[in-house]
Every structure is written in structure tokens, then in C-alpha cells.
Structure 1
């Protein structure tokens, strides 16, 4: 007998309930000849009906969610529940929900017929779903387009079991924005920098930086981690100021405007990262007082003008900073007026937790009302950023916002290295002795070429050049094992506090943060003290170290050029022309005073004793001079100085020959010139 699956029951093909009531064994079941067999058949059918009509549980119980195996179609209307299948039970296997076309009452013959779910789950409430894991295993496939012979609409009963394809909306490695009112970064720059590095923050919007003096370069050296840069808008007077610290792997461009505002400070930047383009606005509004003579009414006039300019930008927009309005107090007229101004421009404020230690919401994160830029509401958290004395001097909490944009890859750099440590000293000295054999017939140029080319070939043989790509990471040189242990204990205490949410655990976490801050400042102080002592009499190394400590930028930025040779010639012509200009200026001055124009070329006659005999230098003298000299090297040296000293016996003969050739030739030429 052919059976057809119809909803939840097995029926003989073409048979309905009315047919079963008037069943004729001679027509439908010719094999049945007596009432006993007919009773057995009807009982079997009723057993199947009962089995299929009941929802059966699993071995673990009826409340256990069973796995779903289904094929689905993506064009149907998305609903929270599909016949007991809650959307939270489906694994997000893609990136976003498929766009659904508008449903209408017109037939949709060209649309594929959806398949049914063979196994469903219990229709639980939303509250129950919040307490259980959403990662229920679900196998979802999409069936090919099978056209129906009937006209179907999305509201048709056969569509009740169709599950839409859901795409993943969470970014695995999202771009991270951090907002903080520092109340002066001068005494906590190192703590802020360490927080940026430890939490892998990409954009740090800082308000009330108190920067702008001549000594702030030292603060910026501590504040900006390696691999980051800063845009800073200081206040002309004391206090205030806004800044943005950003990862160099993100394209950030400072925006300028002709508009000026007197009631608040602002900084705007255009940010491009991966496929995200947005405008970031950092705002700081000081609280009105008699000294600053600020007015709330004037602020809202300027604020409305500011929003009118930036709300019309085509890209996404984020406005963050400290507005100093008690947004948690609904009865406050200024707060209501501020929220109303946002609604008038299609914006909304997302921060819903206190950002100040006194329990008020003063800092904001504002986006468009229909924006999907952020994954969720911003997270307000207190990281206990301390000063050098381990005292929490910041009265605001930080705000972390996760964007629906993947972090850009870290900046990579290609370098060329030679592994000198892997050189076999014995074989290296043998090659040097066999190649560097100067003869008396060679002149000075020949000896120099022999030394340079010979050493270069031997080095390439024993330590060939290797190209390596490294990733630039914002690491600190004073990061010690003691500091690593302290950070690990702090993170452990933080996890305990967040799991229990007890006050005692919060206090323990706070103490760990204070100890870590003290250790951070002490580690840096010890590192630089040791480094300065190691410099000794090396003034070049000392100036380089102090320049980095003071925040001086040592990056060399060359002009743009398509050809390196042309760029080098431009440099040479510049300095040659500069020297020629100085000479011409001196000649003009000499002509005006009546002095001979050839004074620059005039030579003073030597009146001392004549040196007529020169003795060549010995190998022992050259060896002593080389060993006394510091082990410094230049990029143009064919061999590092420390390796030359290590194999000094093989290099002394050819170096002595060069010195004697150079000295004797120059001295002889000078004697001839004197005699003339």
C-alpha cells in the first residue's frame, strides 16, 4: 500500500477520514477477508495516529531540547517562533539576516516549496530562553528551487514550519572604542597607556586632558603607546582639552571646520577601517561657573547648530564625550532638552549606566536611531586608573563600545637580518686568511676594493641575508616578570568580582589595581635608571635614550618620490646649492669691504719644522688602536666591529696595508706641495 506523509499522519494515498469511516475492504484492502484482520488494521492505524499526534520526549526528559534537522527557505517572513522553534535556538551560521521581500496576498508560484521540520522543540517562553545556552546544535540546509503546482502565499498553512536562514550578527574581533574623562592625563599617562595596550583598544576618546603646555611632550611620550598616534586639541587656558589616541593600522583623518563654538570643546575625525567608514566626534562641555561664564541656553543654540552640520554626513556618526548633564535624572529640564535635541536630529543616546562615581550619567555615546554600527549598548566599567602614587584620581568611569567592524590587521614590517651568531669562527677565519692577501703591486684603491668585496662575499657565505616579516606590537621594554604576575592576579580578581558581584570582591579587585599601578611606575623608573647607567660615556646612546624618554619623534619622513636615485640627487643638489649660496654671500660681503675675493681659497704658509721622513705603522700599533676603539658599527661597514675584533689577527695585515698606503701617499704629496 502506498503511503503519503500528510502533516502528522500516515494515510493511504487518496484516503481521507471520511473514507476510513466507510472503508470497503473489497476496494481499499482486498487482503482483509474477516473482521479480525480488519480490527487489527484499524488498531494499527490508530496506534500510528496516537504516536504521531503526541509530542514525545527524550530519554533525558521532556524539557530537553532535541537537535533539529531541517531544510529551510530564506524568503519567508521572519518571526520569533516558528511552531515552537525559537530563533534563539538556531545557531548563527552566517553574518546577517537575509532581507525578506514584502509579503502580499498575490500567488507566488515561482517561489520554492519549503520543507517541513521532522523534529520540533518545546515552545518555551522568552524568559526561559534567557537562562539557557543559545548554542543548540542545528543542521540547516537550503533546498533547491522546487516549483509548486499550487498557488502559495507566505501565510499558507504549509509554511508554518519553515525556518529562515539567520546570519551571524556578532563580529569575532570587533573594533573597540573607549571613552574616558581623565581629569588631567599628566599624572596618569602611564596608566592610561597600559590600559589601552592591555585591553587592545583601537580608539581612545579622552576628555579633560589638561594638555597644551611646553612640557607636554614628556607626557605624550608616556601616553601614546608604540604603534599608536594622537590627535590633540588643547584648551588655550588651564584645564579642558580633548584628544583621540588611535591605532596606526586604522586610517584616521582630522576634520577641520570654519565654525567656532564657545560653550564646548570638540574634535572630529574621519575613520576608515575595513568596510566601515564613520565620523567620530569627541565633545567636552565644562560645567557652567562664574569663572568660565558659560550659559546653558547658549550651549543648546550652538549644540543644535553642531548637530545640524554633522547629522547630515553621509557616513555613520558617533558622538562621545562628557556633556556634564545628569541624564539619569528624568525631571532635569536640561537633560530633557538635550535628549529632545538628539531626537530632533534622528539621534539617540545609548549609555544607561552611571559614568560618574556619584551615580550620575555624564558621559554619552550618541549614534543614529536606525544605526547598526554597534553590536550592543556601551559597557560602563571602572578600571581604577591611578596616578604614580597608586591613588585613584579619576572620578569618571570608562565606556567601552564594540563596533560591527573587524579590527584591521596589525602593521607588519619587512626586515633583512644576518645570523652572525651561527657563524663558525674557525671556518670564517680560514676564509678571511685565504682571501684577504694584499700584494705590493696593489694600490690603495685596489686594497680597499679587495677588503670590501672579499669581506662581503665571505659574510654572504657564512651568514646570508634573510628576509623576515615582523608584526609591530605596542609592547613596553620595562615589562618585567613581576609586572606580568601582578597583572595576572589583577585579572583573576576581576573575574571573581564579575562572577559574584560582591562588594568584598570588588574591594579586592580595587586593591590589586592599585598595586599594579604602583608596580607599573616603579618598573619604568628602574628600567630607565638602569639604562642610563649602562650608557656610561656613550653620549650618543644617552641622547637617544633621553630623546625617547622625552617623547621626541625620531621617525624620518622622506619626501614622496617614484625613483630613489632621483630623491638622492635632490638631496645632493639641495646641500650643494646651500653651500654655493653661502660662498656667494661671503664673496659679496668681501667685495663690499674691499677684501680679496679669493680669501676663501687663500692658504696660510707653514712656518714650522718640515716633516721629511715617515715611518710605516706596524701591525701591533694598528691592533692596539682597534682594540681600544669602541665596538660601534655603521650600516655601511661590511662587517660588524665586534666580529672584526674577534678575528683581529686575520684583519690586521690588510688594514695596516691600507693605513700605510694612505699615509705615505698623502704625506709625500704634501711634501712636494710644500717644496713648490
Structure 2
């Protein structure tokens, strides 16, 4: 057990009456002195011989935080043990864990608004971006590839409208979120995306619904019949239920009969609608967020109009801890630390062991590659490190950040005044900002391609394409053995079409060459070596075909 150090009354009072306290630590020192004085007054003195009184109080100094710790080395008393005064790390009372950030938005064609969506995800650190009216079709895999090049580390799950244009729902989630789509039966009056979002502490059953406006074919009564059938099935499912989307019902209008029927339907199933402000440009509440009345995992809902659409984007948090960020593993070698003398010595000693009777160039090259790889592994072994896969958008510049600040300022002014002129000014600025997003994104990739060499060009194209599996599904299904012949046939037919389209011009004079090649100058080994070294480094796997001379 460690020995306790005791302080006398005079030594403790020296801490109180010191004159060299710094101004920024006076508050902490005053609190400490007041506490010490209270401890002294509580202790009654005991009688000692010769009338002397001694005070021994056990003290633990834990007042000063780590960054504002006061230096007690100025104390004049030589009997004070300065090494006993230690810094105590203060524990913050705030919770550092982050909740799931979600956004709901009606896009009305998301194809030309992907940079704006990426901008919103970056600025709000959105984990789950929910979109209605994507206007996707079944063959729009290029949009997924394009979004992967704009903002990597995200995945798109969609349910497109197949029979006609428009409609469609989608969910854009981070790579660390486990989102799986469930099979659901089709409905005539609305479109639905049914997904499970698995979090660290809960499982969310997410339903994204888009209901088209009223028409002669489908009315609100028809929608309520199908929606009631859906709720009867889905309410018995496990997990927390969230129903979001564009319902095209004016739930803010208490005189609307269709809205009252819809609200009564929600109340009869024990559901609650959380959006209490207008979400459409005309002032009505069309985009809704619905949960069970007993659930309290949805935080305060906010909105903004920064995305180019006639619908506002709704932001809300799911009160569950966000999963840890996704990680990537990278393997590298420290080739700069390789000693060339040691490498030469290892190669010379290894080459002397190789059999000299092997006359096959392929076997000799393979043996040399194996020896070189073993030497490199010995001198610079591969090191694997784990990195956090952070969101990166290199095309997003400081200029765009400044423009977004101006746009937010105009939005606040419009919301404060409510004037139509401020609304028009904000819309015009939003269109300019959306155009700049497209411009900066195209400029970034254009400069990458222009400044790339032959090697890095293929890597840049792969980054722009995104997921190669998506592009592979778009290519025609051709047997790989017939692929070269198919390419050759395509180019031959293309050249034939070009020649057929050119006018037939017969030259008046024909020229003939009377010269012929009769002798060749032999080349030296240095010339051939120089010619080979100037060629670009290319490699291919070993072939089974033997050259014929």
C-alpha cells in the first residue's frame, strides 16, 4: 500500500495566499482554496503537549482540468511534496456516439441532379438518403456507376417504374449500413420500396412509398383500400417501422375529406405522422414520415430547399448508434528503404544456384522473377494497414463551399420575410449553384484525363465507370472465344460502310515505284537494347502457344 503524505495547515494555506497565480487559473485555484478551507473548519483541534496544535488533513487534488492544470512549483514551503500533485483527466459528460442521419426528398428525375445529391450528403453527413420520383427505368445502371464516381463509398438500392415513365423510389446508403430489399407484391395505386436497415442496436423496417396524384383510374379511396391491406401485414413484422414518401395528400388541410380519411386510417392502426410544416412549393404537406405511436426513435424533423426541386428535403435522425465506418485494407512496401548493395548481393548469390542447363527462356524468366520476389520480400516485406473509408469528393472545391453559404443566407432571408421576391431570388441562386456543381465535376474529370499518361488513363476510366460488375451486366452476352472475331467483324463492316459512303473518284495519273529493297544493314546489340528500352512496359501471362520460325 502506498504511503500517504500529510500536509500541515500552514502548507495548505500557502496554496491559498500565493501571489503568483496566473489570471486564467484563478477560478480553479479559488475553488480549491475554498474547498480546503471548508475541510479545515470542519476538523476540530485536538489538545497536544505544550499547547501546540497540529492539523493533518488528507487531500486529493482533482479540481484542475488537464489543459488548465496549475503549476504548484512556485510554493515556497520546502516540505511540500510537489510530485504528489498530479493531473486528473476530466471525463466529458457528452456522448460521442452519432445517430443515424436520414434525408427524404422528392427528386423529379435524379439523373441530372446527382452532384446536388452528393453535395447534400457531404454537407449533412447523411447516412441514409431516401428519394422518391427517381424517374429511373430498369436499364439505368449507368446512373449507379456515375454516382459511384461522384461520391464513392455509397450504394444505391432502387425499385424503378417498369411500364411507363416517371415514378420510382430509391435508397442511397453508406457502405457501412446493411440495407437489403424485401420482395413485395405490386400495388396499383402506389409504388413501394420495402427494405431492412440493420443497425448496431436495432433493425429498421423501412417503407418508401410514392403515390401519384389523383386520376380517373385511381382515387384516394382506392389507395386507402390497398394501403390498409399493406398495414395489416406490415404491422406484425419485427423491428422499428418507418413509412416515408410522397403521398400527394394535403394532410395540412383539415377541410379536405381525403386527408381526414387518411389521418383516421393512421390513427386506427396506432400510427403517427410527424411532419407538421409544408413540404411542397405550393404550401401543402405532401411528404410524410410515419412511425408507430409508441415509438420515440425519431428526432426533431427539419427541412431546407437547397436541392433543385419543388419539394423540400426533410432531415431527421434515427435515435440509434451509427455503425462504425467502413474500412479498407491496403498493402504496401517500403521500397525506399531497400539497400541496393544488399539486393545485388542476394541476387548474385541466388543466381549462382540456378541450373545452367535450362535453355527455355520462359523457365529462366519465371525463376528470375521468383528469386527477385523472394529478395524483395526479405528486404521490404509487405505491410498491410487498415484505413477508414472516408467520404471524398475531390471535385468539391472551396468556391462551391462559399457559394453554398450564400445560398443558405438567401434561404434564411426568404423564410424570415416570406416575400415572393426573396423566394424568386433564392430559386435563381439555387439554379446557378446547381449548374456550378455540374461544371466543377466535369472540369475535374476533364483535367484528370488531359493530364494523364497512358498508364494512369485506364485507372482513371475505371474510377469514372465505378463498379465493373454493373458495366459488365450492360455489355452484350458474348462468348469470350468469339469476342475477338466479333470485334474484327465490327470494324471491317464499319470501314466498308465508310468507303461505300465516299464518292468514287478515279485518279487521272497513276504512279509506280521502280525502287526495290535489295539489301539490309545488320543492327547491333546496343541498338536492339535501346529500342526495347524505349518501348512502354507491357506484360502478359504465359501462353501455351509456341512460336514457329
**What's the TM-score bracket when you normalise by the shorter of the two chains?**
0.5 to 0.7
From the superposition, tell whether residues 492 and 434 of structure 1 become closer, same or farther in structure 2 (CA, over 3 Å).
farther
State the alpha-carbon separation in 1 of the partners of residues 403 and 159 from structure 2: 37
Residue 355 of structure 1, CA deviation: 0.5
CA contact 1:193–1:222 (8 Å) conserved in 2: no
Distance (Å, rounded) in 1 between the aligned partners of 2:95 and 2:295: 15
Relative to structure 1, is the Cα distance of residues 508 and 416 closer, same or farther in structure 2, using a 3 angstrom cutoff?
Answer: farther
Which residue among 291, 296, 315 is the counterpart of 2:220?
296
5 Å-filtered alignment, 1:219-618, equals 219-224=143-148, 225-235=151-161, 236-257=163-184, 259-290=185-216, 293-376=217-300, 378-383=301-306, 385-386=307-308, 394-423=309-338, 427=341, 430-431=344-345, 434-435=348-349, 441-444=356-359, 447-448=364-365, 451-479=368-396, 483-488=397-402, 490-491=404-405, 494=408, 502-503=416-417, 513-534=430-451, 541-542=457-458, 545-546=460-461, 549=464, 553-554=468-469
Aligned-pair CA distance for 1:499: 10
Q: CA deviation at 1:367?
A: 0.2
Query: Is it true that 1:192 corresponds to 2:117 in the alignment?
Result: yes
How has the CA–CA distance of structure 1 residues 449 and 204 changed in structure 2, closer, same or farther, with 3 Å as cutoff? closer
Q: Secondary structure at the match of 2:398?
A: helix
Question: TM-score, normalization: structure 1?
Answer: 0.52
Cα distance change on mapping 1:545 and 1:433 into 2, 3 Å: closer
Distance 1:622 1:200, change over 3 A: farther
Distance of 1:632 and 1:430 partners within structure 2: 25
Range with greater deviation from structure 2 (624-633 or 412-421): 624-633
Give the distance between the partners of 1:454 and 1:282, measured in 2 at CA: 59
Structure 1 residue 171 displacement after superposition? 7.9
Counterpart-to-counterpart distance in 2, 1:491 and 1:365 = 28
Supply the distance in 1 between the matched residues of 2:255 and 2:292 (Cα, whole angstroms): 24
Number of residue-to-residue matches in the alignment: 399
Structure 1 residues 90-101: aligned runs within 5 Å: none
Q: TM-score, normalised by structure 2?
A: 0.63
Take 1:467 and 1:552, find their aligned partners in 2: how far apart are those partners? 24
CA drift of 1:229 comes to 1.3
Deviation at 1:423, TM superposition (A): 4.7
Q: What secondary structure, in the 3-state scheme, does the structure 2 residue paired with 1:188 have?
A: helix
Contact 1:170 1:404 in 2 (8 A): no
Is the 2:465–2:471 Cα contact (8 Å) retained in structure 1? Answer: no
Hey, what's the Cα distance between the residues in 2 that align with 1:198 and 1:620?
60
Q: Relative to structure 1, is the Cα distance of residues 441 and 300 closer, same or farther in structure 2, using a 3 angstrom cutoff?
A: closer
Q: Measure the CA separation in 1 of the matches of 2:310 and 2:412.
A: 21
Aligned-residue RMSD, C-alpha: 3.9
1:462, 1:507 → 2: CA distance?
A: 67
Structure showing greater Rg: 1
Aligned-partner Cα distance in 1 for 2:406–2:538:
46
Note the C-alpha offset of 1:502.
4.3
Give the aligned partner of residue 207 of structure 1.
132
SS at match of 1:313: coil
1:628 and 2:545 are equivalent in the alignment:
no
Q: Quick check: 1:478–1:527 contact (8 Å CA) kept in 2?
A: yes
CA contact (8 A) 1:490 1:512 kept: no
Residue 149 of structure 1: aligned partner: none
Distance 1:620-1:454 versus aligned 2 partners, 3 A rule: farther
The alignment partner of 2:468 has SS state of coil
Q: State the shift of 1:207 in Å.
A: 0.6
Task: Tell me which residue corresponds to 2:105.
Answer: 180
CA 1:170–1:180 in structure 2 vs 1: closer, same or farther (change >3 Å)? farther
Contact 2:407 2:430 survives alignment (8 Å): no
- In the alignment, the residues of structure 1 paired with residue 119 and residue 107 of structure 2 have an alpha-carbon distance, to the nearest angstrom, of 14
Assess, with a 3 A threshold, how the Cα gap between structure 1 residues 531 and 279 changes in structure 2: closer, same or farther: same
Task: Supply the distance in 1 between the matched residues of 2:102 and 2:395 (Cα, whole angstroms).
Answer: 26
Aligned partners of 1:419 and 1:463 also within 8 Å: yes
Describe the superposition over 1:236-261 as per-residue Cα deviations: whole angstroms up to 9, x where unpaired.
2011111111122112111113x331
Q: Relative to structure 1, is the Cα distance of residues 537 and 403 closer, same or farther in structure 2, using a 3 angstrom cutoff?
A: closer
**Distance (Å, rounded) in 2 between the aligned partners of 1:406 and 1:510:** 36
Shift, 1:269, TM fit: 0.5
User: Matched residues in 1 for 2:433 and 2:379: separation?
Assistant: 47
8 A contact 1:176–1:403 mirrored in 2:
yes
| DSSP 3-state at the match of 1:232 | strand
Distance 1:261 1:478 in 2: 41
Counterpart-to-counterpart distance in 2, 1:399 and 1:433: 65
SS at match of 1:187: helix
Structure 2 partner of 1:30: none
Q: Could you say what secondary structure the match of 1:375 adopts?
A: coil
Cα distance, 1:180 vs structure 2: 0.5
| Separation in 2, partners of 1:429, 1:618 | 31
